């Protein structure tokens, strides 16, 4: 009874401690500037000798910037400068599509005890609507005599200067959104404790606590992606300003044709080689960018299935075009749920004794690590067929795995059929990912051998339900290809009008090595301030001695998700007890992933979104290895210390991929889509 009372007491004590720690972090740590500035003596610019340059004074604090930069000279300070508060706005700024809005660049120079000549301190961007960004913390040497500021307003020529305060007192702010975020993080870390129910419960029995855990995670995920996506003002104006293949394909299909309604220009049709990009540019030929051109018509080379599922029905019912962002959000949620149920089934099949906590953290890591943050922030049509194929793949594999009733040695034909239907649907989205269908031989290989419990009739019936969906979807897709390109197996990428001639691509070992490095092993670039990660510029000089299409990356998949390196332990673990079936499952996933990597590099090049073609497979393969390691560590000398290392690799992966929601990127980043929201989040995240 005493033991039970202690457990109940501890159960109530942990949430109280979590709330207190969260409050402490919000009140003390994230408001450290308030406590630091409590006793500062404020100096207003009106109390000092100052002058403005490069502007025309209209009175009442309004200034017109003549040469893009406003200069502010402040003299006779004679005290230690802790901070500078710029109460400045840009009243004439307007919301710009595809550009930062409301930001001001401030360059600070100072004369202090270190240098009477003055030197540059640092540059900072502030947002006129986010008060927390208007503070400069120069950290000067001793007392300062002179301050000089260069203020560059973005997208406007008018500045309203309400006040400039030296050594300003920072107000106390209790941000409920930040407190909620802190509470979520602290709760998550508390659940990772050794004596948490996360590590005492298994994944098999779904108790109310477990259901609430995943329901909460799903709600947080949906709220997060909606916050990022709905706040992007540029997405409202996306259609008509950018690339819209699925909307144009919906119009064409609704009109009863497979070619787009746009007619190619006479100049393009007259070209001997219309796929020569430089020749098209040299001759100033008008053409539709990134569409397949064949036999005098334009076609969409992206998989047709997303159009048939989403865009065409919406257009047929409303005669309006469905925004890409809504499709991305819907499929992202389905993918996240698919990851959850698939990982649980993987654990049930291979390691049923693994703790509930490992299922949770694997699900979070896989959902965020499979490029979902990138797809949500970059909701353009290039990502839609990849995400659709990812979604169908995880659900297809789940249906296949749940179809196997091993205890009775029988198959659930409905689940076999549904799984094959999902896997066949991949062909209509991202054709190269159809290779994951070979997992059927791994999952159902034992049923190819008949015996008393599984006779030839059952075997034949199983084959029918497994193969029929491929004919059901494959034949229409093949006919669709033939109608467009006179070939059942040509999907159109070969005839794409892009920056290089895709009709003459060939295999190059140098390109493959570069692709392997960029996609899997390139080390990411990290910073100490929000958003902590940045894009890496590409470089074609080290392996490849020819042209290869390359976009900037955030880092290699393995280096951004360190637990993936566990895959290299697969051969040695096979010798130390890893079951043949488990190793075969992981090995096939790795092999298919490598083949798809080679195809991507050869046919298209290097892009962060292409990681989505196989990242989920590498994650699943790594979970097989990590599950075995976790089980083998049971009772080891430094068991929990080594398990902490595994958990740390997951936490680092989750943090890195979360930051991609906010990282500066080459298209539609949050700081462009919703500048105020970006700087608001930045001010909440940065303590210093």
**pLDDT, average across residues 105-127:** 88
Evaluate the CA torsion angle 54, 57, 63, 64 in order and state its sign. negative
Shared domain for 84 and 179, answered yes or no, is no
Shared domain for 106 and 92, answered yes or no, is yes
Shared domain for 152 and 210, answered yes or no, is no
Q: Are the beta carbons of 556 and 522 closer than 8 angstroms? A: yes
Q: What is the CATH number of the domain that holds 64?
A: 2.60.120.260
281 in a structural domain:
no
CA 179 to chain centre: 24
Shared domain for 145 and 22, answered yes or no, is no
Question: What is the rounded CA–CA span in Å between residue 259 and residue 124?
Answer: 50
Q: State phi, psi for 118 to the nearest 5 degrees.
A: 90, 150
Show the tokens assigned to 492: 């159109």
| pLDDT of the residue at 93 | 59
Cβ count near 223 (within 10 Å) = 11
Query: Residues near 15 by Cβ (< 8 Å), separated by ≥ 6?
Result: none
**pLDDT, average across residues 586-603:** 94
Higher pLDDT, 352 or 687: 352
Show the tokens assigned to 540: 């074609």
Q: Are the beta carbons of 351 and 627 closer than 8 angstroms? A: yes
pLDDT, tens only, 195-228: 888 888 888 888 888 899 899 999 999 998 888 8
| pLDDT of the residue at 597 | 95
Please identify which residue in the block is written with the tokens 């005098």.
Answer: 296
658 in a structural domain:
yes
Shared domain for 179 and 155, answered yes or no, is no
| pLDDT of the residue at 170 | 94
What is the domain count for the chain?
3
CA 192 to chain centre: 24
285 in a structural domain:
no
Shared domain for 629 and 655, answered yes or no, is yes
At residue 106's C-alpha, the angle toward residues 104 and 107, to 5°, is 155
pTM of structure: 0.90
Cβ count near 285 (within 10 Å) = 19
629 in a structural domain:
yes
At residue 373's C-alpha, the angle toward residues 372 and 378, to 5°, is 95
Is the pLDDT score of 484 beyond 80?
yes
Least Cα distance to 676 among 89, 240, 157 occurs for: 89
pLDDT, tens only, 3-41: 555 555 666 788 899 999 999 999 999 999 999 999 999
316 in a structural domain:
no
Q: What domain range is 25 assigned to?
A: 2-31+175-190
Shared domain for 92 and 115, answered yes or no, is yes
In 383-455, alpha helices (H): 383-403, 413-425, 439-444
Is the pLDDT score of 367 beyond 80?
yes
296 in a structural domain:
no
| pLDDT of the residue at 100 | 73
275 in a structural domain:
no
Shared domain for 513 and 589, answered yes or no, is yes
Question: What is the rounded CA–CA span in Å between residue 568 and residue 558?
Answer: 11
- What confidence category does residue 640 fall into, taking pLDDT thresholds of 50, 70 and 90? confident
Average pLDDT, the chain: 87
259 in a structural domain:
no
Lowest mean pLDDT among 143-147, 224-228, 370-374, 670-674: 670-674
Shared domain for 153 and 186, answered yes or no, is no
- What confidence category does residue 233 fall into, taking pLDDT thresholds of 50, 70 and 90? very low
Question: What is the rounded CA–CA span in Å between residue 649 and residue 405?
Answer: 34
Question: What is the rounded CA–CA span in Å between residue 33 and residue 687?
Answer: 8
Shared domain for 82 and 154, answered yes or no, is yes
Shared domain for 451 and 580, answered yes or no, is yes
Question: What is the rounded CA–CA span in Å between residue 277 and residue 192?
Answer: 54
Q: Which range has the top average pLDDT, 83-97, 111-125, 228-242, 445-459?
A: 111-125
Shared domain for 226 and 103, answered yes or no, is no
| pLDDT of the residue at 239 | 44
| pLDDT of the residue at 502 | 83
Please identify which residue in the block is written with the tokens 């394909």.
Answer: 249
């Amino acid at each position: 009874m005493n033991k039970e009372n202690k457990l109940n007491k501890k159960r109530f004590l942990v949430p109280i401690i979590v709330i207190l720690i969260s409050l402490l972090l919000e009140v003390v740590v994230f408001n450290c500037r308030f406590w630091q500035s409590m006793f500062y003596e404020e100096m207003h610019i009106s109390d000092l000798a100052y002058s403005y340059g490069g502007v025309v004074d209209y009175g009442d604090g309004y200034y017109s910037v003549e040469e893009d930069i406003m200069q502010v000279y402040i003299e006779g300070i004679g005290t230690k400068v802790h901070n500078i508060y710029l109460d400045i706005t840009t009243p004439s700024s307007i919301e710009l599509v595809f550009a930062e809005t409301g930001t001001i660049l401030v360059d600070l120079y100072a004369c202090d005890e270190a240098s009477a000549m003055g030197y540059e301190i640092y540059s900072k961007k502030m947002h006129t609507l986010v008060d927390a960004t208007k503070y400069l913390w120069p950290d000067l040497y001793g007392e300062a005599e002179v301050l000089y500021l260069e203020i560059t307003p973005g997208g406007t020529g008018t500045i309203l200067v309400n006040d400039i305060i030296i050594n300003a007192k920072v107000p106390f702010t209790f941000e409920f959104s930040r407190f909620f975020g802190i509470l979520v993080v602290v709760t998550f870390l508390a659940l990772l404790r050794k004596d948490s129910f996360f590590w005492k419960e298994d994944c098999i029995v779904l108790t109310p606590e477990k259901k609430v855990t995943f329901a909460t995670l799903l709600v947080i995920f949906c709220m997060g992606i909606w916050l990022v996506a709905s706040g992007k003002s540029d997405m409202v104006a996306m259609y008509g300003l950018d690339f819209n293949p699925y909307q144009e394909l919906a119009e064409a299909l609704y009109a009863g044709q497979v070619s787009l309604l746009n007619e190619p220009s006479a100049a393009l049709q007259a070209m001997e080689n219309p796929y020569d990009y430089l020749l098209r540019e040299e001759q100033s030929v008008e053409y539709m960018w990134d569409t397949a051109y064949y036999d005098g018509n334009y076609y969409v080379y992206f998989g047709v299935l997303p159009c048939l599922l989403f865009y065409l029905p919406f257009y047929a019912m409303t005669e309006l075009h469905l925004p890409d962002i809504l499709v991305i959000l819907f499929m992202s949620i389905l993918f996240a749920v698919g990851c959850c149920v698939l990982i649980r089934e993987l654990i049930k099949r291979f390691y049923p004794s693994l703790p509930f906590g490992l299922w949770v953290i694997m699900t979070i890591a896989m959902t965020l690590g499979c490029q979902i943050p990138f797809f949500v922030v970059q909701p353009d049509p290039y990502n839609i067929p990849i995400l659709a194929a990812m979604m169908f793949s995880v659900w297809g594999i789940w249906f296949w795995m749940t179809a196997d009733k091993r205890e009775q040695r029988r198959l659930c034909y409905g689940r076999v059929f549904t799984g094959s239907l999902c896997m066949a649907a991949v062909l209509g989205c991202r054709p190269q990912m159809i290779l994951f269908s070979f997992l059927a031989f791994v999952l159902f290989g034992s049923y190819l051998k008949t015996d008393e419990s599984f006779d030839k009739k059952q075997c034949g019936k199983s084959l029918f339900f497994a193969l029929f969906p491929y004919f059901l979807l494959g034949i229409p897709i093949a006919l669709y290809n033939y109608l467009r390109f006179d070939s059942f197996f040509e999907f159109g990428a070969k005839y794409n009008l892009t920056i290089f001639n895709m009709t003459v691509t060939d295999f190059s070992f140098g390109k493959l090595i570069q692709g392997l490095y960029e996609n899997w092993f390139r080390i990411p670039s990290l910073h100490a301030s929000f958003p902590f990660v940045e894009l890496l510029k590409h470089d074609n000089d080290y392996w490849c001695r020819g042209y290869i299409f390359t976009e900037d990356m955030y880092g290699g998949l393995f280096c951004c998700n360190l637990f993936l390196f566990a895959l290299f332990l697969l051969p040695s673990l096979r010798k130390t007890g890893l079951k043949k079936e488990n190793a075969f499952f992981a090995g096939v996933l790795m092999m298919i992933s490598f083949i798809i990597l080679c195809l991507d590099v050869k046919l298209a090049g290097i892009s962060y979104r292409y990681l989505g073609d196989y990242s989920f497979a590498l994650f699943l393969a790594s979970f097989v290895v990590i599950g075995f390691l976790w089980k083998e560590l049971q009772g080891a000398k430094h068991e929990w210390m080594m398990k902490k290392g595994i958990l740390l690799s997951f936490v680092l992966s989750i943090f890195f991929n979360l930051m991609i929601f906010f990282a500066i990127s080459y298209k539609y980043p949050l700081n462009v889509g919703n500048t105020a929201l970006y700087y608001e989040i930045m001010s909440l995240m940065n303590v210093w």
